[in-house]
Amino acid sequence: MRDITEELPFDVPESWEWVRLGELCEIITKGSSPKWQGVNYTSGSGNDILFITSENVGAEKILLDTPKYLENRFNDIQSRSILKFNDILTNIVGASIGRSCVYNIMRNDSNINQAVALIRLLDCDLCPFIIKYLNSSTAYNIMLDKQVDSARANISLTTLERFFVPLPPLAEQHRIVERIEELLPHIAAYDTAEQKLTALNATFPDALKKSILQAAVQGKLVPQDPTDEPASVLLERIRAEKEALIKAGKVKRDKHESVVFRRDNSHYTTRDGTEVCIDEELPFEIPDSWEWCSLNCLGQIVGGGTPKTERSENWNNGTIPWLTPADMKNVNGKYVNRGERNITDIGLSSSSAQIMPKNTIIYSSRAPIGYIAISDNDLCTNQGFKSVVPYFTDIVPYLYFCLIQRTPEIQGRASGTTFKEISGSEFGKTLIPLPPISEQYRIVVQVERALATADIMPIA
């Protein structure tokens, strides 16, 4: 019998047991797409069936503001996923992975699509505790690490069946759920009060920090020097560095590169083969010696990945630093060199994680968007990042502060329901105001001095 102690997420009381979700279930399955089955959507009259998608799966509650209906022959094709009262529904595709609710509708003809998993417990008395656990931040973070590396995040049914659940005695489950329900209104009230207090205390330093960074990226923090080599020359140097990397086979040519160019005092880019004027998209004016450019012209946008956690060869005695967004909470200053865990060469090669060199800008792309640091050595990340490997490392100190300032705009372009995420292609379109390299050095010195003096940001 294999020892799985190291796979268990955390310690539990002696009277509890760790079990895999599949051991508690009659079935775990998922639905299908009506399009794949040749079934039509309907108005919901007659014998039409209620069709549940991931949008209808809220945190513990079914959301039916915009119900969908199908021809009832869908149930003949997909009979295994017809819902019963007290079934648990969990989203297994997209940004709302892990969000779970109980099917508590008194109709026995509903069905689900392929983005939703049906979890039918052997004992319905377990349902209240299981649903609380599945919707907890602890379960979400574990599930996030087990998602499949692909263009669209997803959890396989096999992974769901093997998902660990901490199981207390039934009487204790009831007490836990009752206590949680009792505390929820108080937690909400405390959360509201804390947010107001935090906002009140943070207003001045946050406003000051934003003001400093806003002035920095608009060319108002330090004076321009007419003898500085203009940013247009710097951009040509960066393009030459990129071409050299492409020619050497170290970087692939970006099919989605958003090159910004000027003509007749206006700014343009090419989208879907057509030139588009972007003057109205530029957030502010910059000095004449500066240039607007897209982020993906300055560096390669790199994602990450998670090796399978149940395979010890991916983790044991690993030497490659591996970061998650949770690790970024502990970063003090501008630089990061490792997280809580390392992975092995086998773990690296078996996942979509990539080694990124020193001076990479590490940027979390979800949960939350905008944790940022500069790598102090080679490292890799999980899939919660879209990092920037610069083509010309001298721009990194300025670009670090610039991305902090641009983060609210980046967050505004993110997509998703429960958890917003910025995709690599969308992140690469971020417009960057680029000063001459000499002015960048002066800006960084002045920003660090101002923030340190204001004591609102640790500077390494």
User: Cβ distance 373 to 381 under 8 Å?
Assistant: no
Same domain, 135 and 219: no
Rounded mean pLDDT, 259-272: 85
**137 band by pLDDT with thresholds 50, 70 and 90:** confident
Query: How far is CA 276 from its chain centroid?
Result: 30
| The domain boundary residue, chosen from 168, 195, 222 | 168
**Above 60 in pLDDT, residue 364?**
yes
8-state DSSP, 62: B
Confidence (pLDDT) at 438: 96
pLDDT over 90 (residue 365):
yes
Asked if the structure places residue 136 within a domain, the reply is yes
Same structural domain for residues 240 and 309? yes
Closest residue by Cα to residue 386 from 417, 350, 416, 411: 411
222 plus 99 within the same structural domain = no
Is residue 454's pLDDT more than 70?
Answer: no
Does 308 lie in the same domain as 441? Answer: yes
The single-letter DSSP state of residue 356 is: B
Quick check: 459 pLDDT over 60? no
Domain match, 87 and 230 both: no
Q: Please check whether residue 459 lies inside any domain of the structure.
A: no
C-alpha angle 302-307-308 in degrees, rounded to nearest 5? 150
Say whether both 308 and 163 belong to one domain. no
CATH number at residue 260: 3.90.220.20
For the record, the structure tokens of 422 come out as 């910025």
Tens-digit pLDDT profile for residues 99-121? 999 999 988 899 999 999 999 99
With 0-12 CB in 10 A as exposed, 13-18 as middle and 19+ as buried, what is 317?
exposed
Which one of 115, 145, 168 terminates a domain? 168
Q: Report the phi/psi class of residue 376: left, alpha or beta, with left for phi > 0 and alpha for psi in -120 to 50.
A: alpha
Strands 335-336 and 369-375: parallel
350 shares a domain with 273? yes
Residue 201, pLDDT score: 54
Residue 402 falls inside a structural domain: yes
The number of beta carbons lying within 10 Å of the beta carbon of residue 206 is: 12
Q: Confirm if 269 and 106 have CB atoms less than 8 A apart.
A: no
- Given a cut of 70, whether residue 417 has pLDDT beyond it is no
Average pLDDT over residues 9-31: 94
Q: What is the pLDDT of residue 269?
A: 87
In this prediction, residue 196 carries a pLDDT of 67
Total number of domains constituting the chain: 2
Mean pLDDT over residues 283-294, rounded? 94
Q: Do residues 154 and 214 share a domain?
A: no
Structure token digits, residue 454: 């204001």
pLDDT at 458 over 50: no
Q: In the Cβ-directed half-sphere of 82, how many Cα atoms lie within 13 Å?
A: 14
Convert the pLDDT of each residue in 148-199 to its tens digit.
Answer: 554 456 888 999 999 999 999 999 999 999 999 888 887 777 777 766 666 6
Q: Would residue 6 count as lying in a domain?
A: no
Whether 250 and 133 map to the same domain: the answer is no
- Give residues with Cβ within 8 angstroms of 317, minimum separation 6: 344
State the average pLDDT over residues 46-52.
Answer: 91
- 460: confidence class by pLDDT, cuts 50, 70, 90: very low
The mean pLDDT value of the chain amounts to: 89
Q: Examine residue 69 and state whether it is found in any structural domain, yes or no.
A: yes
The answer to whether the CB of 364 falls within 8 A of the CB of 372 is: yes
Q: What DSSP line would sit under 389-424, residue for residue?
A: EESSGGGHHHHHHHHHHHHHHHHHT-B-SSS-B--H
Q: How far is CA 17 from the centre of its chain?
A: 31
Over residues 420-440, mean pLDDT: 93
Mean pLDDT along residues 32-57: 91
Separation between Cα atoms, residue 430 and residue 61, nearest integer Å? 37
CA–CA dist 353, 376 (Å, integer): 18
| Per-residue pLDDT at 2 | 74
Q: Which domain holds residue 147?
A: 12-168
Over residues 405-431, mean pLDDT? 89
Residue 460 lies in a domain: no
pLDDT one-digit tens code per residue, 207-226:
778 888 999 999 999 999 99
Cα→Cα distances 373→141, 334, 365, 399, 404, Å: 21, 5, 13, 11, 10
Residue 87 domain-assigned (yes or no):
yes
Domain-located, residue 185 = no
Compute the half-sphere exposure of residue 114: CA atoms within 13 Å on the CB side of its CA: 8
**Strand 100-103 to strand 87-91: parallel, antiparallel, or no bridges (unpaired)?**
antiparallel
For residue range 64-87, list pLDDT tens digits in order.
888 999 999 999 999 999 999 999
Neighbour tally for 276: CB within 10 Å:
11
pLDDT(95) > 80: no
* Mean pLDDT to the nearest integer, 400-410: 95
Token duo for residue 42? 């309907």
Could you give the 3-state DSSP secondary structure of residue 39? coil
Same domain, 241 and 158: no
Q: How many CA atoms lie within 13 A of 299 on its CB side?
A: 29
> HSE-up of 426 (CA within 13 Å, CB side)?
14
Q: Last residue of a domain, which of 168, 192, 222?
A: 168
Lowest-confidence segment of 23-27, 200-204, 356-360, 383-387 by average pLDDT: 200-204
Q: How confident is the model at residue 145 (pLDDT cuts 50, 70, 90)?
A: confident
Model pLDDT, residue 420? 84
List, in sequence order, the alpha helices (H) in 276-357: 345-349
- 212 plus 121 within the same structural domain: no
Say yes or no: 212 and 160 in one domain: no
* DSSP E strand boundaries for 176-248: none
Q: What is the mean pLDDT of residues 373-380?
A: 96
199 token code pair: 């906002």
- Return the higher-pLDDT residue of 277 and 209: 277
Q: pLDDT at position 119, please?
A: 97
* pTM score of the predicted model: 0.59
Report CA-CA distances (Å) from 214 to 218, 447, 460. Answer: 6, 10, 21
